[in-house]
Amino acid sequence: MRVAFVGKGGSGKTTLSALFARYAARRGPVVAIDADINQHLGLALGAAEIPRPLGGMLTEIKDYLRGDNPLIRDAASMVKTTPPGRGSRLVRLGDPFFPSCRVAGVSLMVTGPFGEEDLGVACYHSKVGAVELFLNHLVDGPGEYAVVDMTAGADSFASGLFTRFDLTYLVAEPTRQGVGVYRQYRDHAAGFDVPIAVVGNKVQSPGDVDFLREHVGDALLTWFEHSPAVRALEQGRPFALGDLEPANLRALGALLDRLDRQPKDWDRFGRQAAEFHRRNALTWANRAAGEDLTAQIDPGFVYGPAVAAP
Ligand SMILES: Nc1ncnc2c1ncn2[C@@H]1O[C@H](COP(=O)(O)OP(=O)(O)O)[C@@H](O)[C@H]1O
Ligand SMILES: [Mg+2]
């Protein structure tokens, strides 16, 4: 199951991604992926080292994933939305090709720091493209988790990345800006059948919860209180999940239970992979590649756990 944490900068995406990844690791294998502009997930997990960034190995990743797919001529003609087809290499969580390091019971993968060149809306070389390719070729099942720390920025809407998740957790502080980002995200995602739940953060009073309820309604799944344990972690003190306040631990449980209840929809996934690739090809990628990339869509390919069989 794949879950994204999105929200305004500073809302707590990285903090909650890291806590959730640790927590989910009690139940099954977890890959935590740092795809945020500010690369802090490793720090939040307490990593002593950071693995090789995926953003710096796009060509290798493309060559690996395209495998023997006859519809993809070479790595250069593979863009971030190029979907898998027959002959492509599908990956399982923990595929050793993707550099990761073990920390706090999870495997950490990172896109690498973003530069100016990465912030364009239709950027050919976007580092987040590495994550999109990975997710497009990932065949994951229940009880295993890919946790992605993302921004709520325009990039993921331009490419279709926002549709690559079983569930999206929008982290919102109980402020007008916090709930405003939720509305924007929801409106962008409208019509794409993308399940979104709001996770309140830095809640300090019942009034904060009322505020969130009033503005996001039933979309509010749960909330985290301001956490002295998280603050201590930020100050470099040793941290274990058991140090977390009971209410915040319960909130983690609510996130994991909700994700486990989410049905996998491979059909939507496949449909949207093709749809966004077509869109991407027509808006800019065909021009950039100098060929018709819509021909990469393999109508005979069907996503699903069956294709993952070794
Ligand atoms: N529930 C919380 N309790 C205490 N501090 C928090 C909590 N959530 C986030 N923080 C702090 O707020 C700051 C921003 O959080 P961060 O996770 O880095 O946000 P984002 O990744 O969305 O930019 C960090 O210093 C973090 O430790
Ligand atoms: Mg962050």
Q: Is residue 231 within 8 Å of residue 244, measured between CB atoms?
A: no
Residue closest via CA to ligand 1's atom 13 equals 10
Name the residue type at position 132: E
Residue carrying structure tokens 């915040």: 248
Does residue 310 form part of some domain? no
Q: State the pLDDT at residue 274.
A: 97
Does residue 21 form part of some domain? yes
Q: What percent of the chain lies above the pLDDT cut of 90?
A: 85
Q: Is residue 135 within 8 Å of residue 164, measured between CB atoms?
A: yes
Confirm or reject: Cβ of 40 under 6 Å from ligand 1. Answer: yes
Mean pLDDT for the chain overall? 92
Q: State the pLDDT at residue 73.
A: 96
Q: State the pLDDT at residue 116.
A: 58
Confirm or reject: Cβ of 227 under 6 Å from ligand 1. Answer: yes
Q: How far is it, in rounded angstroms, from Cα 5 to Cα 209?
A: 20
CA of 134 to the centre of ligand 1 (A): 27
Q: State the pLDDT at residue 122.
A: 45
Does residue 251 form part of some domain? yes
Q: What percent of the chain lies above the pLDDT cut of 70?
A: 94
pTM assigned to the model: 0.95
Does residue 309 form part of some domain? no
Q: Residue 30 pLDDT more than 90?
A: yes
Counted domains in the chain: 1
Does residue 20 form part of some domain? yes
Q: How far is it, in rounded angstroms, from Cα 209 to Cα 225?
A: 10
Q: Which of 24-33, 107-116, 240-249 has the lowest mean pLDDT?
A: 107-116
Q: How far is it, in rounded angstroms, from Cα 8 to Cα 172?
A: 7
Range of the domain at 95: 2-304
Q: Is residue 273 within 8 Å of residue 280, measured between CB atoms?
A: no
Q: State the pLDDT at residue 155.
A: 72
Does residue 226 form part of some domain? yes
Provide the CATH number for the domain around residue 264.
Answer: 3.40.50.300
Q: What is the pLDDT of residues 150-193, one digit of tens each?
A: 987 777 787 889 999 999 999 999 999 999 999 999 999 999 99
Ligand nearest to the CA of 15: 1
